Every structure is written in C-alpha cells, then in structure tokens.
Amino acid sequence: MELQGKRIVLGVTGGIAAYKAAELLRLLSKQGADVQVAMTEGATHFVTPTTFQALSGKPVFTDQWDARMPNAMAHIDLSRQADLILVAPASADFLARTAHGLADDLLATMVLARDCPMLVAPAMNRQMWENPATQRNVAQLAADGVHILGPACGEQACGEVGAGRMLEPEEILEEVIAFFTPKLMAGKKVLITAGPTFEAIDPVRGITNLSSGRMGYALARAAQHAGATVTLVSGPVSFSAPQGVDRNNVRSALEMHAAVMARAGEADIFIGVAAVADYRVANAAEHKLKKDTGGIPPIELVENPDILAEVAALKDGPFCVGFAAESQNLEAYAQAKRKKKNIPLIAGNLIQDGFGGDDNTLILFDEAGAHPLKPAAKSVLAGQLIQHIAHLTGKN
C-alpha cells in the first residue's frame, strides 16, 4: 500500500492505449490510492466511463458542465482535491492543447486550473511523436514542470514500430510511487549486490544457496525511488531488475568480486546483500562427472574473496552496509561481523524468519546499537533501511 492516502486524478484521453488505463486504475487502487477518473470525449470512444466507475467506485467526469458539482466547477474542485494529476494515455492533441494553455474541455480546464503536480504518459503513432510540433510541445511541458513518462518503443496498433507506445501500467505505477517517495538519496551513487552465487563443480553441478535475491532487488528499487543512481550486481535470480536500475549479471563469487571492485571507487554507498559463497571449487571439472568412473571424485575447496571487507578497506571508499543471516545469536554474530569488517552498519536477520521468502524481520546494527524493524514485506523493510542509511550518511 505504497500510495495509501494519496489522491490522484487519472485523466484518460482518446487513443487505443486507453484500455490500459483501466489496469492502471486497478493497480493504483491496489496500492491504496484514492483515484478519480476524468475522461475526454475522445476517450469514451475507446473505453466507456462505466468501466472506470466500476473499478474506482466513483462517478466518472467527462463534461466541464457536469451538474453533479454543487458549484458547477468540476475543473476547480477535482484539481483542488488532488495530490497528483496523472494523464495516461496522453494524446498528441492533449499535449498540444496543454502546452498552449487551452481550456476547451473538462480535463484541459482542470489541468490549467491545477495547483498540484502532473505526470503525463504520451501515447501516439511514431510519426506523430517524432513530429517537430509534438517535440516542441513536450519540451514546453517539461519546462513548465510537467513530468513526462516515456513513451516506450515497440509495435504499435497501426502496425508500425517505433517510439510512441504508452508505458505499461506496471511501469507507470512504479513512476508514480517513485514520484511520491522523498528523495533522501538524490545525487548519490549506490552499488548493491544481490542474489546467490554459483560455484561450478562441473558444467552442470555446483555449490549455491537458497537466496532468492528479493531483498537486494527491493533495496535497489527503494534506493532508485529515493533518487539514487543505482547499479545492481546480481547473481542468478528469476526476476527482472527494478525500473531505472542498471543491472549487471554475474554467476560466481569471483565474477561478482570483479564487477564490484570495478565500480566501487565511484560509489557513494555500497550495500552487500548477496549471499556470496564462502568457498569455490579449485578443481572444477571441464566435463560432466560420471558415476561409472569409480569412487567419489575429490572436491578441493578454496576461499573466495571477501567482497564487503575489500570495499570497506578502500581509501575514500563508499559508506558500506552489510547483511548477516544467522540461525542463532544474531546480535552477537552481526555486531562481531560489523566490527571485523570495519563497516558502519549491518542488517541482520534469522534465517528462519525470512531467508528466501517475501517477508522478513530485520534488526539494524550500528555504532548506536540495535534498531529492530517490525516484521514486514521486504519492499517495506528496504524502504526503512534506505531511510536509516540516508540518516547515517547525512551525518557524515
């Protein structure tokens, strides 16, 4: 419920992408937003107001002369009640009228009368988007403080391929959540490791662990929402990188070490979330090991580099945050690890409380002591950890 209590006017203009606005409304509402829909007359030719009324539980406004408002001023009342106006899709016609301050229908009048921020997600044919007139209008809107979301490139309803597709509803939702997130890390470069590593025994077998990567990915998302430029070095996981995050895929601990050390010097903050294997196989087989060769093949283990300790030892290196997943004696082990690696902050959890799952329980350990966080989804805990890091780095 990351948008709990936020009041959003969702403006829908004419275009085939209007059908996606119904899913966007559902996603916004699911995150706790109070959404009021306003449609242009053109939009009603693609999706009916009844659809949006059913999804929002509120009447949909389409007419600037709507008599349901006691003062007949829907354009004033709706905009004054909003924390944000989001127009998706935003047609070329809407962008042009808004850039020139026209007020010839309810949505355009409301936009002109607003005293809240506005985000627009353009959607149109690629040539309409590339037209110099549209680009001038978009540039003017951006200069006026309007946030432009997209558009994306891809196949269009007309059969052509190029820029002009509206961002997907999930992508717009992420942009809205990021918009409302305080920019506690604006201007910071954050480097994060996530997921497990895989140490090969032969081409098909290896040593790994049960880390899902969810916590590292949640932290990358939270840091990006907080305004940071985020680089994510990820071991093998099964989901996509958060929007706006630069992801670098690795497999083994040595690959992760090389990727991190190549980037650590430029980072302001390093968060080592990955469950890096302590050991790798020194004598990994070139070909698949066979059972019928007689006996159990010997496996020789050698220690992997300690990535977090090496980054923490860098001269003028980044602010370092570690993770400690323990099965017992959490505070003692976590604080000992923090002091041994000489890092200012470590987040600890008991393996049985959430290792590999969607939820977790974290305790943050720093020089001031222990700071327990209430059990919650990893996305919530990630936001709280980012706030704590911002607080500590703000003191430095």
Binding region for CTP: 278, 288, 305-308, 323, 337, 341
Among the listed residues 116, 153, 158, 320, the single catalytic one is 158
Torsion of CA 253, 257, 259, 260, to 10 degrees: 130
Q: For residues 326 and 331, give the distance between their C-alpha atoms in angstroms, rounded to a whole number.
A: 9
Radius of gyration of the chain (CA): 25
Q: Which amino acid is at 19?
A: Y
Facing residues of 11 across strands?
38, 87
First to last CA, the chain: 32
- Cβ atoms of 280 and 257 within 8 Å: the answer is no
Q: Which of 364, 373, 315, 372 is nearest to 344 (CA)?
A: 364
CA dihedral 138, 140, 146, 149 (to 10 degrees): 20
DSSP state of 266: G
> Annotated binding site: which residue ranges?
278, 288, 305-308, 323, 337, 341
Rounded Cα–Cα distance for residues 263 and 249 (Å): 14
Is 153 a catalytic site residue? no
3-class secondary structure for 140-162? Answer: HHHHCCCEECCCEEEECCCCCEE
Could you tell me where the DSSP H helices lie in 149-275? 169-180, 214-225, 253-263
User: Which positions ≥6 away from 193 have C-beta within 8 Å?
Assistant: 216, 232, 233, 234, 235, 256, 260, 271, 272, 273, 274, 276, 307
Neighbour tally for 381: CB within 10 Å = 25
Residue with tokens 């809107």: 141
Q: How many CB atoms lie within 10 A of CB 386?
A: 27
- Which tokens is 173 given? 């939702």
Q: What are the residue numbers of the active site? A: 158
